[in-house]
Amino acid sequence: MKKERVLVTGAGGFIGHHLIKYLKKKGYWVRGVDIKAPEYEKTPADEFMILDLRSWPNCLRALIGINHVYNLAANMGGIGFIHSHKAEIVHDNTLVSINMLEAARLNGVSKFLFTSSACVYPSYRQDIPEVTGLKEEDAYPADPEDGYGWEKLYTERACRHYYEDFGLNTYIVRFHNIYGPLGTYDGGREKSPAAICRKIALAKKNGTIEVWGDGKQTRSYCYIGDCVEGIYRLMQSDYHQPLNLGTDRMVTIDELVGIVAKIAGKKILKRYDLSKPQGVRGRNSDNSRLRKVLGWEPKTPLEKGLTITYKWIRRQLKT
């Protein structure tokens, strides 16, 4: 049977690059689109186009001959970046998301996936470290992460309306802290696992690293291999509501540092900086609906995923 022609936007980024490799192994013809090429590896896409998807004509061009869309394109980064670039993020991501939805409708695309974020969840449900796992319906009453989270929540609603009003099969996945090799690890856009891996790789034995916040804030982390499998499984389903994609193992930032230090074989001291952005106090995924809808959930243990990630970052720092 002939496989569909698929488009992955944000294909020059971390998750998009891994997703293309996964889809190619499944036998799909894949077009990748981004404002930049992948940084660490050559793209495995059948076709790669450098396009700025804030531009309406570029969205139409990207979708020529495409059946399925995985819309990952976004201006984003770690907690420091999203706190300091709110207007830029809202402007860029709203344009990309709405342009791509409308272009998909006009081009007769049969499936459209939007990658949302756990940042859509309200701060009042995440104000203590011992947080209860976040269920999909907990996004309302709304009070998402300012800027980045509001755009994600708005586009979730837009996807719902395009599904209900136009019959475009939209899928919405809420990522919970995706990490792994080939991800940004410096420059200000990196997420906490990559930042900690970099700091420990550069530290001497018995060295000290800076930790943003008091180290007691909690998160759950999902390895990239599980992430792309979950994305694909969702696109094969008939479920069109937002769905969490993450693990439900919650750790403190202090515990995350301890795991990476053990992997590195180093004793690491911590210097806390309470002046830096640290996000919500606690965040964890409730995977009840994920298990029910997909009959599956992420399997990679945090220690295994961090070992792969740490070794990759260490190699990058030595080159």
- CA dist 180 and 290 (Å) reads 21
| Cα 311 from Cα 319, distance rounded (Å) | 13
Q: DSSP letter string over 61-107? A: HHTTT-SEEEE------SHHHHHH-HHHHHHHHHHHHHHHHHHHHHT
The residue written with tokens 């293309």 in the block is: 20
The per-residue b/e assignment along 98-119, b for 16 or more CB within 10 angstroms, e otherwise, is bbbbbbbbebebebbbbbbbbb
Whole-angstrom Cα distance, residue 155 to residue 114?
8
277 is written with which tokens?
A: 């952005």
Residue 53 near residue 9, CB atoms below 8 Å: yes
Question: Who contacts 110 (Cβ-Cβ below 8 Å, separation ≥6)?
Answer: 4, 67, 68, 169
Of the residues 22, 28, 70, 148, only one is catalytic, namely 148
Active site residue 148: yes
Nearest residue to 309 (alpha-carbon basis) of 221, 193, 217: 193
Q: Are 180 and 223 in contact (CB under 8 A)?
A: yes
Contact 21, 83 (CB under 8 A): no
**Residue 270 phi, psi dihedral angles, 5° rounding:** -120, 135
The residues near 177 (Cβ < 8 Å, ≥ 6 apart) are: 118, 191, 192, 193, 219, 220, 221, 222, 246, 283
Q: Cβ(174)–Cβ(117) under 8 Å? A: yes
Please list the active-site residues: 148
